[in-house]
């Protein structure tokens, strides 16, 4: 009878330290495969496998598409690729971003839940926003174990706190206590006979993560059409639910929680304001230039005053927009501060 032999771990800002602590405490004969997804820059060198290999006794490597899933090994999602679990092996996928990230935590957790059901243990560490909540809910839905780092200890508590709000979490522990728990769970036998059937929605989520077409995956059947559009591609957004947790996915595959959707909209508004400011500044320069050119040709021309009047009007509008833009950046909200990358998100070679 198998144990909890598939451990999936997700984290973002502030997660490297607890992840290292966790790996340091895992035994060399752990009878479980460990898969890790951390939010990372798509352009940064992935130092996490090296750091984890040095921290503990288990080998840690960057996941390779199609490689077998083996016990006693740690697999880390590559930058700019989702890590997806299928029966017996791993896939790395450049499907659409989820919760504004690739790699994202939800695809790892959801795919593991589909592939291994109650044999899965999902662990959510420190991080901003709420990626991983829907994935941890999927782990629980399929009979697995849900574990979170104690939010009171986490450097960025938003991620584990969101899971605690929407998922019936089994264990909420400090980072130092996670490894002994996982070692014990890996040896506990799991009954798979009463595993709940995989929902059509969860199958769809996993198919999309494997670079499947969202429409062909049945998105229109399981999602409720909304009046919103995807900030990334402007496609129609459909609303989905993981228990009480509301999510959105567009027909091309991008996925958002409500909070990540709001964060993306804030960035879109910022971009629009800056573009408007740029256009107004350019119009001031152009109309001033034309007025000076006409003044040299004919100082009495009525069009000189007209161009200068338009330039002054554009300048006033630009000043108003500039004030709006600057006010948005004086002090970030508590939520946006929590979502900012920490120092360990841009890793350098030791």
Judged against a pLDDT cut of 50, whether residue 332 lies above it is answered with no
12, 93, 95, 111: the catalytic one is: 12
4, 39, 82, 156: the catalytic one is: 39
Report the sign of the C-alpha dihedral through residues 89, 95, 96, 97, in that order.
Answer: positive
Query: What residue ranges do the domains of the chain occupy?
Result: 6-187, 211-252, 260-344
93 assigned to active site: no
CATH number at 6-187: 3.40.50.180
Residues 6+ apart with CB under 8 A from 272: none
53 assigned to active site: no
Backbone angles phi, psi at 295, to 5 degrees: -65, -35
Residue 190 to residue 108: CA distance in whole angstroms:
21
Residue 53 to residue 44: CA distance in whole angstroms:
19
Binned at pLDDT 50, 70 and 90, residue 251 comes out as confident
3-state secondary structure of 228: strand
Q: What is the 3-state secondary structure (H, E, C) of 167-218?
A: CCCCEEECHHHHHHHHHHHHHCECCCCCCCCCCHHHHHHHHHHCCCCCCCCC
Q: What is the pLDDT of residues 261-298, one digit of tens each?
A: 888 888 888 888 888 889 989 999 998 988 888 888 87
Q: Do strands 245-250 and 236-242 pair parallel, antiparallel, or not at all (unpaired)?
A: antiparallel
Tokens of 34: 């460990």
Segment 310-338 shows an average pLDDT of 70
39 assigned to active site: yes
131, 156, 162, 217: the catalytic one is: 131
Q: What is the pLDDT of residues 79-91, one digit of tens each?
A: 999 999 999 999 9
Q: What is the pLDDT of residues 153-185, one digit of tens each?
A: 999 999 999 999 999 999 999 999 999 999 999
């Amino acid at each position: 009878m198998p144990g909890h032999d598939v451990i999936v771990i997700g984290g973002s800002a502030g997660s490297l330290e607890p992840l290292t602590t966790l790996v340091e405490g895992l035994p060399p004969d752990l009878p479980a495969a460990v898969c890790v997804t951390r939010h990372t820059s798509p352009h940064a060198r992935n130092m996490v496998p090296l750091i984890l290999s040095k921290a503990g006794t288990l080998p840690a490597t960057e996941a390779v598409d199609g490689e077998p899933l083996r016990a006693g090994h740690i697999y880390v999602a590559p930058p700019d690729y989702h890590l997806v679990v299928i029966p017996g092996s791993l896939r790395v996928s450049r499907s659409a971003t989820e919760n504004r990230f690739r790699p994202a935590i939800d695809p790892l957790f959801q795919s593991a839940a589909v592939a291994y059901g109650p044999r899965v243990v999902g662990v959510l560490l420190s991080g901003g926003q709420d990626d991983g909540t829907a994935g941890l809910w999927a782990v629980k839905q399929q009979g697995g174990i849900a574990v979170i780092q104690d939010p009171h200890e986490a450097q960025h508590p938003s991620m584990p706190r969101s899971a605690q709000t929407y998922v019936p979490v089994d264990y909420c522990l400090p980072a130092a206590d996670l490894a002994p728990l996982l070692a014990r769970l890996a040896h506990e036998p799991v009954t798979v006979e009463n595993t709940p059937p995989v929902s059509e929605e969860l199958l769809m989520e996993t198919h999309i993560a494997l670079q499947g077409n969202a429409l062909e995956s049945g998105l229109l059947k399981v999602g409720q059409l909304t009046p919103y559009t995807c900030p990334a591609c402007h496609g129609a957004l459909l609303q989905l639910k993981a228990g009480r947790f509301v999510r959105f996915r567009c027909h091309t595959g991008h996925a958002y929680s409500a909070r990540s959707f709001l964060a993306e909209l804030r960035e879109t508004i910022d971009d629009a304001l800056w573009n408007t400011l740029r256009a107004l500044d350019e119009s001031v320069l152009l109309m001033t230039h034309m007025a000076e050119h006409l003044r040299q040709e004919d100082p009495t021309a009525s069009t000189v005053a007209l161009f200068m009047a338009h330039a002054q009007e554009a300048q006033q509008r630009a000043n108003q927009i500039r004030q709006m833009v600057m006010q948005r950046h004086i002090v970030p909200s508590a939520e946006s501060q929590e979502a900012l990358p920490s120092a360990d998100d841009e890793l350098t070679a030791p």
